[in-house]
Structure 1
Amino acid sequence: MLTELQKKKLTHYFNAFDVDKNGTLEKSDFDKIVNGYAKTYKITQNSETYQYISSTYGKRWDALAKEADTNTDNKVSLDEWLSYQDKLLNDPKSNFLWLRVASMFIDIQDIDKDGTWSLEEYKIMYKIHGVGDDILAAEIFSKLDFDGDGKISKNDLMNLVADFYLSDNPQAPGNLFFGTYE
Structure 2
Amino acid sequence: MNTLKSICVFCGSSEGNDPAILEQAKVLGTQLAANNITLVYGGSQLGIMGAVAKASLTQGGKGIGIIPEFLKTKEIVYTELDEVITTQNMHERKLKMQEVSDGFITLPGGFGTFEELFEIITWSQLGLHHKPIGLLNINGFYDHLIAMLDEMVNRGFLSAKNRQLLIVDDEVDGLLDKMKHFIPDFTSKFLKPENT
Structure with greater helix share of residues: 1
Q: TM-score, normalized by length of structure 2? A: 0.29
Larger strand percent: 2
